[in-house]
Structures are given as C-alpha cells and as structure tokens.
Chain A
Amino acid sequence: MKPVLKNGIAVYSPQGFLDANSSNAFMLIEDIEEATNLKAEMILVSLKKVAFFNRNGLDIFIKLFAKIRKKNQAMVGFCDYDKKKYEAIVRFFQDDLNFSLFKTLDIAYLFTSGFKNANKKILIYSSDKSQRSAMAIELHDGGHNPTVAQSIEDFDKKKRNIDAYDYIIDSTFLGQMGQKVATRVTGNAIIYTITSYLDAEIGEQFNIEYHRNSLNVGFRLFIFDAYKVLSMNIHALNFFSRLASSAAEYNASICFVGMKFDKTPEAFKETMEDAGILFYNQMDDILQNKELLKELGASSSSNIKNKRVINKETILELPKFIDATVATLEMMTNAKATKEALNIRTLAIADKKDKIASSIGYYGDIDGMVILVFPKEIAKKACELLIGESTDDLEMILDTLAELVNIVGGKIKTLLSDENISVNITLPRTYQDIDSLMEVVEGRKGVQVDLLFNDDKFLFFLTR
C-alpha cells in the first residue's frame, strides 16, 4: 500500500476489514521499507474507510510505527475514526499506547509545524489530565488559542457554542512527539522547526543534504523556529556555526526566531552572532517586513554570488523534463500539448498579467529547478482533477498547483531513474504573481520552452 504525502503528513488508507490476514497484505516488506524512509513529519494510518478491525489487524501497523520511530523519529499513529473505534484502540493498547491518535486528519495537521493557518480557536477535552495539558501546550506553541475543558460536562457545555471554536478536539491522544527537524516553505524562506534540548543529535535530525540543495536551487533565507527550544549544548552550537559558515558562501542568511537564553549560556548567542546568525523575537518580525526580507535575501537574486549556469548534463536530459511536464499536464487537462519555441535565455514573460507560477528543485546526480508559469485559467483547469470542481479560490489553486508540480517532480524522478540518474526533489513552491517569481530567477539563464495547450500558452523554464 502506498501513502498520500501532503503538507508533511503521510497517510495510509486501508479499506474494508482489518484482521491478522489482511493487514499483512496491506503492508508488504517493500511497503514497510518505503514507510521507514519517508521524509514526513507525521506518518498516520487512516481508519476512515475501515469497517472492522481487531487487535491483530492493527498489530502490523504498530510494528511499523516502532520501526519508523527508530529510524527517523517521525510522529506516528492512527487518524479518522469514530468514538467506538477510538475506545477499541485505547482498550487494545492501554498499557502500550506510545503512538498518537487523531480523531481527524485536520486535527493532526494542527499539531504539525507546517500548518499555515495558526491562531485557531480550539476546544480540547480528554479524560486524561496530562493529555489535556500536553495538547494545550503543543497547540499554544503552534500559535493557536486552545481552551481546555476540565470535565466532560464542561466540554459538553462549551461545545454547544459551536461558533466559538474553529476546531473541537476530543477522542485524541498525543503519543511520543516527533523529533525530526520539520521543514516548510513560506514564500521564499525555508523554515526549520527545532525543539527541546539541542545536542549532537541535531546533526542526525537535520537533513543537511536537503539544506545544501535548497541553497543550490536558490533559497537564501533559512529561519529556525526555536520557540520550543529549551537549551542547547556546545555540540549544537558548533553545528549551527558550521551551518552559518557554509551559508555565507552562498550569501544566504540564517535566522533564529523565539530562542530564549535563560537555560543556554548568553555567550553562545554571541558566538552564533559572530558566525553570522541573526536573532529575532517573533516570526512576523521577519515574514511581515518586506524590506527586511529583501535585505535577508528572501526576495532578491542580486545577493547570489555563485550564479550557476545551465550545463550539458541538464541539457542532455531536457527532453525528459519536458516529457514529464507535458505528460502531467495532459493527464490533468486531457488536452494535447504542442511545443512552440525553445530558447536558452533568461526567463522572459511578455505579459505578466493573470499569471501564476510554481517551481520544484531536484538534486542528486544532477541538480536544478523546474519552473512552470501558467495563465490563471489554465492553472484552474489543470487543478480541477485534483480539486474535483472549478474554483476561483486563489489559495486553493496555489496549494493544488504545488501538488501538481510535485507530480511533475515525481515523474521527472521516475524518468531519470530509467536512465540510472538518481535525484530527489525539494518541496514545491508557488508564486501568486510573476513579480515574486522574477525576484527569485531574475538574471538566471535556463532553457525556456513555450508550450501550447489547446489555444492556451504555458511556459516551462529549466534552470540551475
């Protein structure tokens, strides 16, 4: 069984009846291997479409959870169940409940660092007092406004006031929290979330390969969300100092937000500042300050010293990149594509009006970035298959466009692997207008291909 990976959560969705026989067939050896290598903040099994399960049916997933935690420290558990299923799981594993239970997938998202819509009003109830507190702390740390019901009567009373809350959480259990350094992209900045005590293990938890390649594909601002860091030791300090030195080679900025030094020596802060790390109290101090963002490199390509040129290896594989894009777009729109023009040049978009864009980087045996520029109407059409209806909601279109470019990235990866070229793909990015795209790619040479879908023009740009 394959998972669906979205916004840092990988979800497996078995259907029907789960018992000892069937669950072993759901997770074959290769599926388990794949699951332990997933780059996800959370790995969940949805019980939404499971009509029946017994303890033996869940055991294979419990073993899987243990393997995942051992290998990559992601948060694991079940989601999408009703009260009856929740009570059954708690009864089956009452002495050994070290995984998480989220009543819905939406509730699970609230506990991820990538959840974009913070500041939600959330009502929480659990009969276990420590669980109530743990959930409230996590949600508060995530920027939400949790309200804890102290008893079931209190909960019943409060939840009647349905308009007062964006989310109501019950039948939920927080097991061991993940320890991975979660990653998300906001605009042109990459945000890493670090928590608790930072020591030599940060080197294991941090995906240095991903970071290096984000530098390679043009990211220049890296923010460490350090609100939940309790303290750090000398090993962690050395790690961040080294990271800052390597970032300096690319003229990139590394910032720490929300880091407190009451349990960490003040001298560490000075050492980090000397290495070039900047400190801010609030995330919005950076993200809402356009001038500062520009200064830090998140919206300007002029800072890039090491402009990389499109090379022979990339040109040789160009047909694969175009095929992957065309095949995906054809699949999404059921329209045939024709190639109009191909040029090696800096990105040129004649008419910027009503256009949006998305990009995805790849790294490994070769590296670079694919940028797709769509007229809004084509983007809407291309997203209809994934959304299920036509919509004018720009945020939804951009989110779906990110999924679409992720499919293109996946296709590129497959096509290249047929040639024994191994690459990984980065998180996708979207741009709600062409100006924000140009801030990132201005001055970079690449291959520009104009494509025609029915009568609509669509632009493909491959650069490094």
Chain B
Amino acid sequence: MITKKNIESFIEKIPPSPKILNETLSLLNIGELVKAAKIAEQDLALKSYLKSIVNKPIYGFKNEVSDIGQIFGILGVSLAQQSVYNYMVTLLSPNKWALFKLNSTLFYELQANLSKRWEAILIHLNINDSNAYAAITLLPASIIVTEALFAQKKEEVALLRATKALDYNTILMRLCGMGLFDICEEIAKKWEMDNSVSAIVQAASGVKPSEDEEINTLGKWMHLLLFYKLSQPEFIKAGLNDFVDFQIEYVSDIYDDFASFMEIK
C-alpha cells in the first residue's frame, strides 16, 4: 500500500526553506522585527498568508491589519516566527484535499487556533523558549503527510479501518517502520529547525515519549491540545478526529491542569 519508497520520494520532494523565509527567520531570531518585516514584504504569498492569519477572530482585532511591520509588531518575536513557520508548512499542503475534507481556509484556521492556544499554554507553563513556540507549527505537518501518502489509497484504508481500528500512524509504522512524526522530523531537518522542535512534536505523537522531562511535558500538553482542537465539529467533519490515536493515559497526569486552564466544565 505505502512503501518506504513512497516515503523517501515524499521526503525528497520537500523543498528547502526559501531564502526570503530563512532571512526573515534569522532576523526574527535576533529580535529585529522591523528588518524582518522588510524582508518578508518581498514574498507576496507570505504577506497574504500573514494578513489572513492575523485577521482571524481568534486574534480579536477590530480593524483589518495589513502592514507586515504592524503584524510582526502585534505578534511579537515568538508568534511572528511561528507564523512564518506555519506559512512554510502550508507550502507543503496540497492544492486539493482528497483524504480529509479540508481546504486552505480550514487548515489555516487550525494552524492559527493551535498557535494561539499554544502561546497561552507556554505562558501558563512559564516557558519562554522560541523553539517551544515554533514546535506547534510542525504538528499540522503530520496532517499534510497523511494526506500526501494516503490520498490515493482512500478506499483501501477505509476497508482496513472498518475491520480494525488502526490510525494512519500505526498503519505506516507497521508497513514501513516509519511513522508520520518521523517524517515531520525529516521536514524539520530539511528546514534546519532546532532538534528540540522535532523532539517536542515526536513526544506530542503520544507514542514516543521523550526522556527529557520538559520536552515530555510539552509533548503531553501539545497532544491534548491537538485532540481538544480535533474535537471541534469542523475538524471532526473533516475526518481529522481519528487520524492519529489519542493516548489518553499519556496525558492523564496533566489532564486536570489542562481542563482547568481551558475552562472545560
């Protein structure tokens, strides 16, 4: 169904991060928001993406924000970085979704929601690390990878999943010995993201806990946040709720804190 060759071919096709984005990220890394905005202005697609993200209701601005400098200023260094990475992930997304009932608007919505909530979680956990901020951007890449690998096998997978409750990550692991989040790690390497970014996302898969306590804690919060978002009607209808297995035991020790933080009653 899916072979190692398919995976290798997918990884090969991942483009390196464009020069403009690299420069923007480097400047953001050293806190040069204005200079970063000037560089980012040159990429019209990035500009349009940032505008669409920052004007979503979750950011709560009354008037439309359209200037990149203004956008970076509002977002601050970490969120601006996150947004650029989010944009890079969208470059991998298909023109037309076939496996999941998604479109670019809904996918951007998921990215924006995850990013904003993740920011709040990191503040709650007193973590101020740009790599921890950036990690959330890699998580939705797992959805794109699933779409890319399984879209042509939709019917076969549906029949298989009618017989046995297997999520896409398990199917891939059993067939190729490599999971969705391993492929995300490859994406992170290609884009020269810090190792801790992929370590957090691997932990957030719920099946590869980290030995590093802080990374593991972040993985748990991210895992729970993912399923909190994937329990929203639009994402359930998109078929995302069970694309990976929710590891309820893995998050059991942080659940009460999460529920109280999210005001779940």
B124 at the interface (CB under 8 A from A): no
Q: Decide yes or no whether A211 CB sits under 8 A from chain B.
A: no
Of A3, A22, A49, A332, the contact of B236 (CB 8 Å cutoff): A22
With A16-B230, A26-B241, A334-B1: A51-B251 Cβ-Cβ less than 8 Å = yes
B96 touches A (CB below 8 Å):
no
Report, as a range, how many residues of chain B touch the other chain.
35 or more
Give the shortest distance, in Å, between A460 (CB) and chain B (any CB). 18
Q: Given A48-B248, A51-B251, A327-B156, verify A2-B161 contact (CB < 8 Å).
A: yes
List of A residues within 8 angstroms of B158 by Cβ = 2
User: Bound state CA distance, A94 and B158, in angstroms?
Assistant: 37
Residue pair A51, B164 in contact (C-beta under 8 Å): no
Contact pattern, B 218-248, Cβ under 8 Å of A = 1, otherwise 0: 0000001001101111101100011001101
A429 CA to B261 CA, complexed, in Å: 52
What are the interface flags for A1-43 relative to B under an 8 Å C-beta threshold, 1 for contact and 0 otherwise? 1111110000101111110011011101000000000000000
Known A51-B251, A328-B156, A410-B159: A13·B165 in contact at CB below 8 Å = yes
Interface residues of B in 114-173 (CB under 8 A from A): 153, 155-156, 158-166, 170-171
Do B163 and A17 touch (CB < 8 A)? no
Partner of A330, one of B1, B170, B234: B1
Q: Which residues of A contact B251 (CB under 8 A)?
A: 51
Question: 1/0 per residue A41-74: CB within 8 Å of B?
Answer: 0000000111110100000000000000000000
CA distance A49 to B155 in the complex (A): 25
Known contacts A24-B233, A330-B1; A407 and B264 CB within 8 A of each other: no
Of A120-128, A173-181, A240-248, A380-388, the one touching chain B: A380-388
In the assembled complex, the CB of B241 is this many whole angstroms from the nearest CB of chain A, namely 5
A6 vs B165: C-alpha distance when bound (angstroms):
10
A279 to nearest B CB, angstroms?
A: 37
Question: Using Cβ atoms and an 8 Å threshold, which residues of chain A touch B228?
Answer: 16-17
A384 contacts across to B, CB distance below 8 A: 174
Option from B161, B175, B231, B237 in Cβ contact (under 8 Å) with A18: B231
A25 x B159 contact (CB < 8 A): no
Which residues of chain A are near B163, meaning CB under 8 Å?
Answer: 4-6, 386, 403-404, 406-407, 410
Tell me which residues across on chain A come within 8 A of B264, comparing CB atoms: 17, 52
Determine whether A396 belongs to the interface, using a CB cutoff of 8 Å to chain B.
no
- CB of A231 closer than 8 Å to a CB of B: no
Q: Is the interface of B mostly helix, strand, loop or mixed?
A: helix
B3 within 8 A of A: yes
Contact in complex: A331, B231 (CB < 8 Å): no
Report the bound CA distance from A462 to B129 in whole Å. 63
Chain B residue numbers with a CB within 8 Å of A445 are: none
* A4 and B1 contacting across the interface, CB-CB below 8 Å: no
Residue of A whose beta carbon sits closest to that of B247: A49
Contact residues, A385-410 vs B (CB, 8 A): 385-386, 388, 403-404, 406-407, 410
Q: How far is the CA of A11 from the CA of B165 in the complex (A)?
A: 9
B237 touches A51 (CB 8 A): no
B155 close to A414 (CB less than 8 A): yes
Question: Are A15 and B230 in contact, with the CB atoms below 8 A?
Answer: yes
Closest Cβ neighbor of B170 among chain A residues: A388
Q: Are A51 and B255 within 8 A (Cβ)?
A: yes
| A444 part of interface (Cβ distance < 8 Å) | no
In the bound complex, residues from chain B placing their C-beta under 8 Å from that of A1 are 236, 241-242
Q: Is the CB of A334 within 8 A of B3?
A: yes
Against A, the Cβ 8 Å flags (1 = close, 0 = not) of B1-37 are 1110000000000000000000000000000000000
Which of chain B's residues have a CB closer than 8 A to the CB of A158?
none
Q: Does A228 contact B (CB under 8 A)?
A: no
What are the residues of chain B within 8 A of A2 when measuring CB–CB? 158, 161-162
The chain A residue with its CB closest to the CB of B164 is A386
How far does the Cβ of B106 sit from chain A's closest Cβ, in whole Å? Answer: 13
- Tell yes or no: B207 within 8 A of A by CB: no
CA distance A16 to B244 in the complex (A): 11
| A16 close to B160 (CB less than 8 A) | no
Chain A positions within 8 Å of B174 at CB level? 384-385, 388
Chain B residue nearest to A415 (CB atoms) is B155
Q: Is A411 an interface residue (CB 8 A)?
A: yes
Tell me the smallest distance from the CB of B232 to a CB of chain A, in Å.
7
Query: Using a CB-CB cutoff of 8 Å, which residues 344-370 of chain A contact chain B?
Result: none
| Least CB separation from B157: chain A residue | A331
Q: How far, in Å, is A452 (CB) from chain B's closest CB?
A: 18
Is A403's CB under 8 angstroms from B164's CB?
Answer: yes
Q: Does B58 contact A (CB under 8 A)?
A: no
Verify if B74 is at the interface (C-beta below 8 Å from A).
no
Report Cα–Cα, A216/B167, bound state, in Å: 37
Is A17 a contact partner of B1 (Cβ separation < 8 A)?
A: no
Determine the distance from Cα of A1 to Cα of B237 in the docked complex, in whole angstroms: 9
Chain A residues with CB under 8 Å of B175's CB are 334, 385
Q: Tell me the smallest distance from the CB of B173 to a CB of chain A, in Å.
A: 9
In the assembled complex, the CB of B94 is this many whole angstroms from the nearest CB of chain A, namely 22
Asked if B259 is an interface residue, CB under 8 A from chain A, the answer is yes
Q: Could you tell me the distance in whole angstroms from the C-beta of A181 to the nearest C-beta in chain B?
A: 23
Q: Which residues of B contact A (CB under 8 A)?
A: 1-3, 153, 155-156, 158-166, 170-171, 174-176, 224, 227-228, 230-234, 236-237, 241-242, 245-246, 248, 251, 255, 259, 264-265
Known contacts A4-B165, A52-B264; 15 additional CB pairs below 8 A are: A2-B158, A3-B162, A15-B245, A15-B246, A16-B231, A21-B233, A25-B236, A26-B236, A334-B175, A385-B171, A385-B175, A403-B164, A404-B163, A410-B159, A414-B155
Question: What 6 A-B pairs come out closest when comparing CB atoms?
Answer: A16-B231, A25-B233, A25-B236, A16-B227, A17-B231, A331-B1
10 A-B pairs with CB atoms under 8 Å apart are A5-B163, A15-B242, A16-B228, A21-B233, A24-B233, A49-B248, A51-B248, A52-B264, A385-B175, A388-B170
Which residue numbers of A lie inside 8 Å of B, CB to CB? 1-6, 11, 13-18, 21-22, 24-26, 28, 48-52, 54, 327-328, 330-332, 334, 384-386, 388, 403-404, 406-407, 410-411, 414
